[in-house]
Structure 1
Amino acid sequence: VLLTEEDFYDLTMAYLKKAQEDNVVHTEIFFDPQTHTARGVAFDTVVRGITRALDDGEKQMGISSQLIMCFLRHLDEKSAQKTLDYALDYKDKIIGVGLDSSELGNPPNKFSNVFKRAQNEGFLTVAHAGEEGPAKYVWEAIDLLKVMRIDHGIKSIDDKKLVAELVRRQIPLTVCPLSNLKLRVVSDMKYHPIKRMLDKNMMVTINSDDPSYFGGYVNQNYIEVARALNLTKDDIHLLAKNSFTSSFLSDAKKKNYIDKVDVMDKELR
Structure 2
Amino acid sequence: MDPHHSLIALSEAMPKTELHLHIEGTFEPEQMFAIAQRNQVPLQYESMDALKAAYQFTNLQDFLDLYYQGMSVLLHEVDFYDLTMAYLTKVHSENVVHVEIFFDPQAHLSRGVPFDVQIKGIYNALQDAKKKWGMSSKLIMSFLRHLSEDSAFGTLEQATPFLSWIDGVGLDSSELGHPPEKFLRVFEVCKNLGLKVTAHAGEEGPPEYVWQAIEQIGVDRIDHGNRALEDELLIKTLQERQLTLTVCPLSNLKLCVVHDMKDHPITHMLQLGLNATVNSDDPAYFGGYMNDNYASLIRHTGIQKTELQQLAENGINGSWMSKQEKTKHLTALFALFL
What is the CA-CA distance between 1:200 and the residue it aligns to? 0.4
Which residue number corresponds to residue 120 of structure 1? 192
Which residue number corresponds to residue 90 of structure 2? 18
Alignment partners' CA distance in 1, 2:322 and 2:158? 26
Counterpart of 1:47 (choices 104, 108, 119) is 119
What is the CA-CA distance between 1:90 and the residue it aligns to? 1.3
Counterpart of 1:145 (choices 217, 223, 232) is 217
Unaligned runs of 5+ in 2: 1-72
2:326 is the counterpart of 1:254: yes
- Code of the residue aligned with 2:154 in structure 1: it is K
Counterpart of 2:276 (choices 188, 199, 204) is 204
Alignment partners' CA distance in 2, 1:189 and 1:134? 21
Alignment partners' CA distance in 2, 1:218 and 1:148? 22
TM-score, structure 2 normalization? 0.78
Alignment partners' CA distance in 2, 1:210 and 1:61? 23
Q: Secondary structure at the match of 1:25?
A: strand
2:250 is the counterpart of 1:178: yes
Alignment partners' CA distance in 2, 1:69 and 1:251? 23
State how 1:96-111 maps to structure 2 within 5 Å: 96-111=168-183
Which protein has the larger Cα radius of gyration, Structure 1 or Structure 2? 2
2:311 is the counterpart of 1:239: yes
> What are the Cα deviations for residues 33-92 of structure 1, in whole angstroms up to 9, with x where unaligned?
001000000000000000011111111122111100000001110000111112221121
Q: Which runs of 4+ in 1 moved over 2 A?
A: none
Which residue number corresponds to residue 261 of structure 2? 189
- Code of the residue aligned with 1:139 in structure 2: it is W
Q: What root-mean-square deviation, in Å, do the aligned CA atoms of Structure 1 and Structure 2 show?
A: 0.7
Calculate percent identity across the aligned residue pairs.
Answer: 53
Which residue number corresponds to residue 128 of structure 2? 56
> What are the Cα deviations for residues 83-115 of structure 1, in whole angstroms up to 9, with x where unaligned?
111222112110000000111111101110100
- Code of the residue aligned with 1:90 in structure 2: it is F
Alignment partners' CA distance in 2, 1:208 and 1:99? 17
Tell which has more relative contact order, 1 or 2 (C-alpha 8 A, sep 6+): 2
Q: Secondary structure at the match of 1:29?
A: strand
Unaligned runs of 5+ in 1: none
Q: Secondary structure at the match of 1:144?
A: helix
Which residue number corresponds to residue 83 of structure 1? 155
Q: Secondary structure at the match of 1:103?
A: coil
- Code of the residue aligned with 2:322 in structure 1: it is S
Alignment partners' CA distance in 2, 1:222 and 1:160? 27
> What are the Cα deviations for residues 204-261 of structure 1, in whole angstroms up to 9, with x where unaligned?
1000111111110011111111221111000000100110000000111111111110
TM-score, structure 1 normalization? 0.98
Which residue number corresponds to residue 24 of structure 2? none
Aligned residues: 266
Alignment partners' CA distance in 2, 1:15 and 1:228? 26
